[in-house]
Amino acid sequence: MSTIEILQVGPYPAWDEERLNANFTMHRYFEASDKADFLKEHGNGIRGIATRGELGANRAMIDALPNLEVISVYGVGFDAVDLNAARERGIRVTNTPDVLTKDVADLGVAMLLAQARGVIGGESWVKSGNWASKGLYPLKSRVHGKSVGVLGLGRIGFEVAKRLAGFDMDIAYSDTGPKDFAKDWTFIADTVELAARSDFLFVTLAASAETRHIVGSKVIEALGPEGMLINISRASNIDEEALLDALESKKLGSAALDVFEGEPKLNPRFLALDNVLLQPHMASGTVETRKAMGALVFENLSAHFTGRPLPTPVL
């Protein structure tokens, strides 16, 4: 184990923690009962942060670590890292792009199919005995051939659209501008217009201050009582109160969500709904992908502390 001290902000699978513990002195922040005292005790010695996409590293944490050099994020989303605080001190930031793209897209499509076709409810219908006692399961909605909007045609949004092309769908997308690689799909600059022409709307935007609540009441109402919203990005891209109001009033037909404000303690209003599919932020949650993510977290830290180029730098 080296003397290089790392603040571990959240848990990792055993295979990752074994490797990190063998190479660094790891301080398990997430297990500390008094986190402020923990940072006071260890802060001066800590040179790196190993965090998770949804946990990040805020300014208070960064400021508590006067000798911090690098922040390694287990995830592609670095919106929870205060980049300005890092930039002011020349602190490097890394993430784990690409290795998770296709798994996240896979789950997004699975969520669409599961919600539209009632897969979860169908299993409950069988296991509850309703099939025998109440008869046929209620009819659900077709997916293939319908219109889909992809809000954010980055790596994940592209993989979602590519998958849905296989379902013969009418695909449109919104982004900062039309993409040369998406000539078969329709570019629509306005998010409300994109929602209005979509049966299903995927939110696959990288989260930032600029995208906060980009899906608000106008977009949600444009998607409408037959529409479905699928979010595999960050909760902050959606006005969650407006979403809950629309789902409760049926102004929005349904939603399939993998991310939530305050997760894992999501708004209890979600739990009372029968028109939403809830997933525990698991879009990249396969053994294969998480092993690749953990390897990148380690490789970025290792590269930094041995003076080699960072594999996947953000800053």
Binding region for ligand 8YV (CB under 6 A) out of 25-33, 59-67, 68-76, 178-186: 68-76
Identified catalytic residue from 27, 47, 155, 234? 234
Q: Is 158 in the site for ligand 8YV (CB under 6 A)?
A: no
Q: Are 293 and 52 in contact (CB under 8 A)?
A: no
Residue type present at position 239: D
Which of 52, 102 has the CB closer to ligand 8YV? Answer: 52
Which of 95, 302 has the CB closer to ligand 8YV? Answer: 95
Using CB under 6 A, pick the residue from 20, 57, 68, 76 that binds ligand 8YV: 76
| Binding string, residues 284-313; x marks residues near ligand 8YV by CB under 6 A | x-----------------------------
Q: Is 155 in the site for ligand 8YV (CB under 6 A)?
A: no
Binders of ligand 8YV among residues 89 to 108 (CB under 6 A) are 100
The count of chain residues that interact with ligand 8YV, using the rule CB under 6 A, is 10
CA distance readout (Å), 207 to 85, 211, 228, 233: 18, 6, 20, 7
Using CB under 6 A, pick the residue from 24, 38, 74, 158 that binds ligand 8YV: 74
Residue type present at position 46: I
Q: Is 43 in the site for ligand 8YV (CB under 6 A)?
A: no
- Cα diameter, the chain: 68
Q: Is 213 a catalytic residue?
A: no
Residue with tokens 């102004």: 251
Which of 10, 121 has the CB closer to ligand 8YV? Answer: 10
Cis peptide before 225 (omega within 30 of 0): no
Q: How far is the CB of 124 from ligand 8YV (least distance, A)?
A: 27
What six digits make up the tokens of 15?
């295979």
Which of 17, 170 has the CB closer to ligand 8YV? Answer: 17
Percent helix, strand, coil in the chain, to 5, is: 40, 15, 40
Q: Is 81 in the site for ligand 8YV (CB under 6 A)?
A: no
Residue 172: which of 294, 182, 163 has the closest Cα? 182
Q: How far is the CB of 74 from ligand 8YV (least distance, A)?
A: 5
Q: Is 27 a catalytic residue?
A: no
Using CB under 6 A, pick the residue from 27, 47, 52, 102 that binds ligand 8YV: 52
CA distance readout (Å), 292 to 54, 75, 107: 18, 10, 17
Using CB under 6 A, pick the residue from 43, 48, 77, 152 that binds ligand 8YV: 77
Q: Is 54 a catalytic residue?
A: no
| Binding string, residues 251-290; x marks residues near ligand 8YV by CB under 6 A | --------------------------------xx------
Calpha distance 125→70 (Å, rounded):
51
Which of 198, 233 has the CB closer to ligand 8YV? Answer: 233
Residue 237 CB: number of other CB atoms within 10 A? 23
Binding region for ligand 8YV (CB under 6 A) out of 25-33, 46-54, 117-125, 131-139: 46-54
The DSSP secondary structure of 47-99, one letter per residue, reads: EEEEEETTT-B-HHHHHT-TT--EEEEESS--TTB-HHHHHHTT-EEE---ST
- Each as own residue / partner, the long-range contacts of residues 172-178 (CB below 8 Å, 24 or more positions apart, any chain) are 172/147, 172/148, 172/197, 172/198, 173/149, 174/149, 174/150
Q: Are 71 and 51 in contact (CB under 8 A)?
A: yes
Contacts of residue 66, Cβ cutoff 8 Å, sequence gap at least 6: 43, 44
The binding site for ligand 8YV (CB under 6 A) comprises 52-54, 74-77, 100, 283-284
Active site residue ranges: 234, 263, 281
